[in-house]
């Protein structure tokens, strides 16, 4: 009996091994090498420009001095350009005005963007929809300097000469409709 049991166990084990391997299939595999290709990033540039004379409250030139409550504007002409398949202009801001001399008047003036045109077309700011940018476009940014009504007496009889203002354009990503 012992011999029969050993033979039965051996036969059962062999059958289990054969049945267990019956579902396994082998596939050939190989590897190939695909060479890569280049992708180049686009650009967004702003070329330095210059600002014109201050205009008082959308009217004429400042002749006798600004007073608290006034806003003066100046048009600053720059060039903006870019390359990229989905490049658009997303935002325009001004920051960091530098003055020839720091005084209470320059400290009181709040400098912001009052408007802009791109290649002669007026932009509605802030931009609700991105605007396409070409390789070179004329950008005119109207900068406003507001003299707050609550300015103190220490702002009288002073001069504010704007040396520079940083005009920053921000890229937007636009994918054309198919």
37-55 pLDDT, tens digit each: 999 999 999 999 999 999 9
Please give the pLDDT value at position 71: 96
The total number of structural domains that make up the chain: 1
Q: Is 70 exceeded by the pLDDT of residue 6?
A: no
| 88 in Cβ contact with 171 (< 8 Å) | yes
What's the CATH number where 134 sits? Answer: 2.60.40
Q: Is residue 8 part of a domain?
A: no
Q: What's the alpha-carbon Rg for the chain, to the nearest Å? A: 36
Question: In the block, which residue shows the tokens 């001069």?
Answer: 159
3-state DSSP assignment of residue 12: helix
* 163 falls within a domain: yes
Q: Model-level pTM?
A: 0.77
Asked if residue 18 belongs to a domain, the reply is: no
- CA 56/CA 62 separation, integer angstroms: 6
Range of the structural domain that residue 72 is part of: 51-173
CA nearest to 153, candidates 111, 105, 100, 101: 105
Residue 91 belongs to a domain: yes
33 lies in some domain: no
Residue 160 lies in a domain: yes
Asked whether residue 105 is domain-assigned, the answer is: yes
Inform me whether the pLDDT recorded for 153 exceeds 90: yes
Residue 6 lies in a domain: no
């Amino acid at each position: 009996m012992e011999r029969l049991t050993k033979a039965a166990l051996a036969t059962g084990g062999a059958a289990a091994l054969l049945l267990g391997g019956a579902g396994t299939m082998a596939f050939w595999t190989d590897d190939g090498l695909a060479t890569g290709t280049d992708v180049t990033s686009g650009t967004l540039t702003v070329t330095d420009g210059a600002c014109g004379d201050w205009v008082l409250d959308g009217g004429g030139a400042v002749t006798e001095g600004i007073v608290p409550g006034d806003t003066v504007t100046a048009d600053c002409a720059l060039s903006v350009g870019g390359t990229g398949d989905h490049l658009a202009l997303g935002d325009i801001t001004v920051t960091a005005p530098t003055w020839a001399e720091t005084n209470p008047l320059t400290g009181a003036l709040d400098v912001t963007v009052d408007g802009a045109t791109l290649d002669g077309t007026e932009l509605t700011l802030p931009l609700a929809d991105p605007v396409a940018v070409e390789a070179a476009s004329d950008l005119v940014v109207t900068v406003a300097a507001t003299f707050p009504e609550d300015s103190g007496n220490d702002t009288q009889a002073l001069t504010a000469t704007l040396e520079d203002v940083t005009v920053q354009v921000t890229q937007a990503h636009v994918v054309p409709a198919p």
